[in-house]
């Protein structure tokens, strides 16, 4: 977003990096990313960052869900079912737009990356 190299480090960049680091078959929440970035309250912008990120194929936005494990952002994808389909393809069971065994599949960057 920022052309200035000095200010290149913004939320979005960090968010992208973290999201890209999410292992296959794992999911994380906006709050977890926000917390890892240091601003747990700013989970909204994490989703906002995803909005800009969903254009980048490198960013697996489908691995990012809300705290309840619900695929809230599915509507922002090319197709509403694309998100669920991708998750299932990676071995994540999704039922009614909700990640099954979310606690098991949950991947916390703050703990994993630390």
Provide the binding-site residues for DNA, judged by CB under 7 A. 1, 10-12, 29-31, 34, 39-48, 50-54, 61, 64, 66-68, 72-73, 75-77
Least distance to DNA, CB of residue 81, Å: 14
Least distance to DNA, CB of residue 95, Å: 18
12: CB partners within 8 A, 6+ apart: 1, 49, 52, 53
Say how far residue 110 (Cα) sits from the centre of its chain: 14
Which residue, 83 or 112, is less far from DNA as judged by CB?
83
Which residue, 31 or 112, is less far from DNA as judged by CB?
31
Least distance to DNA, CB of residue 69, Å: 9
Say how far residue 93 (Cα) sits from the centre of its chain: 17
Which residue, 30 or 107, is less far from DNA as judged by CB?
30
**Residue owning tokens 């619900």:** 70
Which residue, 75 or 93, is less far from DNA as judged by CB?
75
Least distance to DNA, CB of residue 33, Å: 9
Torsion over CA: 114, 40, 74, 95 (sign)? positive
Strands (DSSP E) contained in the chain are 28-29, 64-65, 94-95, 98-99
């Amino acid at each position: 977003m920022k052309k200035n190299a000095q200010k290149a480090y913004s939320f979005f960049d960090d968010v992208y990096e973290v999201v890209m680091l999410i292992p296959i078959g794992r999911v994380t929440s906006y709050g977890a990313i926000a917390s890892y970035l240091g601003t747990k309250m700013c989970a909204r912008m994490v989703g906002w960052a995803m909005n800009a990120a969903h254009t980048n194929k490198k960013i697996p936005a489908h691995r990012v869900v809300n705290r309840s494990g619900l695929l809230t952002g599915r509507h922002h994808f090319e197709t509403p079912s694309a998100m669920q389909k991708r998750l299932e393809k990676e071995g994540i069971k999704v039922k009614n737009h909700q990640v099954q065994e979310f606690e098991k599949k949950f991947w916390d960057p703050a703990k994993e990356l630390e």
